[in-house]
Amino acid sequence: MRQLLHQLLQRRRSEAGFTLLEALVAMALMGVIMGALATVTAQWLPNWNRGFVRVQRNEQVAIALDRLVGDLSAAEYVSPNRETKRPLFAGAELGVTFVRAAFGPGSGPGLEIARIAETGDSQGRVLVRTHAPFVPLATGNPSLDQIPFADPVVLLRAPLRVTFAYAGRDGVWKSTWQDLDELPAAVRLVARDATAERVLAVSTATRVHVGRAAPEPEQVQEAAQPAGAPDQPQGQARGRRER
């Protein structure tokens, strides 16, 4: 009887827990599994980070393009002064200047001159929007350099860039739109990643229709009249219409 009990105790002791060999094998298998997981994570995490950054950039560009689309779609046919009949619109590949109805905090009724262009700061190239109240420019050869643009708002920073193209009624795209007698029929915005030298898909089909029919001379003069300026005598205005 004692011998039988002793054998049962020995059997239970031998079955309890792991042997040293089994523990070593388990640790070796765990090391192999952890190494495989580390390898997969090291390969997957950078791709995930790049994809996340790409999504953030696309969202940033989409917000900036929505702002540009809303801004350019409000462009109006306004002459810089009474002697110049063409609209105040200067379009280049990296910037555009135009007249639109004033908007934003503190803006009253009237017009403003908006400029969207690339400039530089301590962090590199940036796309900035500035504006100034519209007043008639000097006669002769009006220059946009005399306009006191203020309130800069950063729309995009490097490496993201936006280029502009302009098309008339003929549908031919041009990199500039300067000193012409009409507004462009459409403006195309193309966003690029300067680091990867690629066009972002969010901007491939962006067009802004800003075409406007030329207003009557009286409407241009009324729009060009500064805020607070005295109205012209009715007799003079009536005389011009009769002539």
Q: For residue 79, tell me if it sits in a domain.
A: yes
Q: For residue 144, tell me if it sits in a domain.
A: yes
Q: For residue 236, tell me if it sits in a domain.
A: no
Q: For residue 53, tell me if it sits in a domain.
A: no
Q: For residue 183, tell me if it sits in a domain.
A: yes
Walk along the chain (243 residues) and give the pLDDT tens digit of each residue: 666 666 656 665 555 556 777 788 888 888 888 888 888 777 766 766 666 667 777 788 888 888 999 899 899 999 998 888 889 999 999 999 999 999 877 777 889 999 999 988 777 889 999 999 999 888 776 678 888 999 999 999 888 889 999 998 888 999 999 989 999 989 999 988 877 777 777 655 456 666 555 444 444 344 334 434 444 433 333 333 333
CA geometry: angle 170, 78, 116, nearest 5 deg:
75
Q: For residue 51, tell me if it sits in a domain.
A: no
Q: For residue 243, tell me if it sits in a domain.
A: no
| Domain of residue 131, residue span | 59-224
Task: Provide the token pair at 56.
Answer: 């953030």
Count CB neighbours of 155 within 10 A: 20
Q: How many domains does the chain have?
A: 1
